[in-house]
Amino acid sequence: MSRRLTDEEREIWQRVVRNARRLLPAQDPAPDTRTRAAPDPQAAPRPPAESATPPRAVALPMPPGALRGTPAPRVSLDLAPTISERLAREPVRMDRSLHRAMSRGKLEPEARIDLHGMTVAQAHGALTGFILSAQARGLRLVLVITGKGRKAGSDHAAPMPARQGVLKHEVPHWLRSAPLGPLVLELRESHRAHGGAGAYYVYLRKRR
């Protein structure tokens, strides 16, 4: 059912007409001559095409307890067993009851030599003379003191890990090599009562 416009509605309409602009006719696009198959209403919808834009980098969460700006922990690259571990893994060659007493510091060494302050060449000569003399005198258990050696400082940098204590690592090699190797039956780190990791028990073979 139509009704007459009020004076107010007529005035609003006149304003709209005065401000209206005529639009230019749009150009008809070229007709699409390609034949397309009608979409199958029962077909599953196709997934959207992947975007060519590479994905943005996602920041991984920090591990619990880690603080930003905290220096990374130092990682040791020296995976070789220590001299203490190698000696502990060697089979027992001497009498087991004597070995047990020696390991507990219950056997007193019959002689000892202190290689502190010597160069490698001096220590090698002194050790060779000491072991030959002890074996000639019929001694069985002697103590060789090497010291633990100095630790590398925090500013030490080298392409390969630096071993702590040159004599501590050289002495077992000398005692296993000629001319001392055939004279040595057992080689172990000493009990803390006799120097601990800074000394070695050397148990000699019987004199023939």
What would the pLDDT profile of 19-51 be if each residue is shown by its tens digit? Answer: 777 666 656 556 556 655 555 656 655 655 555
Q: Is 18 left (phi over 0), alpha (psi -120 to 50) or beta?
A: alpha
pLDDT digits (tens, 9 = 90+) for 51-79: 555 556 555 565 555 555 555 555 544 45
The DSSP bridge pattern shows strands 184-189 and 199-204 to be antiparallel
Q: Is residue 100 part of a domain?
A: yes
To which H or E segment does residue 200 belong? strand 199-204
What average pLDDT score do residues 193-202 get? 96
Half-sphere exposure of 36 (CA within 13 A, CB side): 5
Q: Is residue 178 part of a domain?
A: yes
Q: Is 18's pLDDT higher than 90?
A: no
- Structurally, the chain folds into a number of domains equal to 1
Q: Is the peptide bond before 179 cis (omega within 30 degrees of 0)?
A: yes
Q: Is residue 108 part of a domain?
A: yes
Q: Is 176's pLDDT higher than 90?
A: yes
Share of the chain above pLDDT 70, in %: 63
**Claim: this prediction has a pTM higher than 0.85:** no
Burial of 102-138, coded b for 16+ CB within 10 Å and e otherwise, reads: bbeeebebeebbebeeeeeeebbeebeebbeebbeee
Q: Is residue 119 part of a domain?
A: yes
Q: Is residue 185 part of a domain?
A: yes
Q: Residue 133: which CATH number?
A: 3.30.1370.110
Q: Is residue 41 part of a domain?
A: no
Domain that holds residue 128: 83-148+163-204
Q: Is residue 175 part of a domain?
A: yes
